[in-house]
Amino acid sequence: MYNKVVRDRFKEIIDSDNKVCTEVELQDFIKEGLIKEINGKLYSKNGIKYDIDIVYNNKYSMNINLSGLISQCEQLAKEFSTNKIYCMTKKTYDRYMQNGYIINMRGKDYYRYFDNEFWLVNMI
């Protein structure tokens, strides 16, 4: 079954106008013998050159300490007796306010998630 999935995906990419695959898919195609990589270029078994864009999976590490934000949200949750807090930037707040998603109740702003569900807004 695995071979069929790989072959079907390969055919889908080759038949499309926008030839894009992931790095993992490319390795699967090579393992299945559907494509060869020679000097950084991709070729079929018959020597036809393929121009396929490869999407590489980049790994990023972030060193962000969210303990301050979490503590702030815990304090707001206790103060306003809610467990629904929406942390948003000023830009997001302005856009939501413009579209009517922000509602002021009891002197505090709430994001209207559904018709009857409101999330306390916490600006970050």
Q: Is residue 61 part of a domain?
A: no
Domain extent at residue 91? 68-123
pLDDT at residue 61, as a whole number: 66
115/99 Cα distance (integer angstroms): 14
pLDDT tens-digit profile of 54-86? 887 766 666 777 788 888 888 888 888 888 888
Q: Is residue 60 part of a domain?
A: no
Count of C-beta atoms within a 10 Å radius of residue 94: 12
H helices present in the chain, as ranges: 2-15, 23-31, 67-80, 90-98
Q: Is residue 25 part of a domain?
A: yes
| pTM for this predicted structure | 0.46
Q: Is residue 63 part of a domain?
A: no
pLDDT tens-digit profile of 18-29? 888 888 899 999
Split into its structural domains, the chain has a count of 2
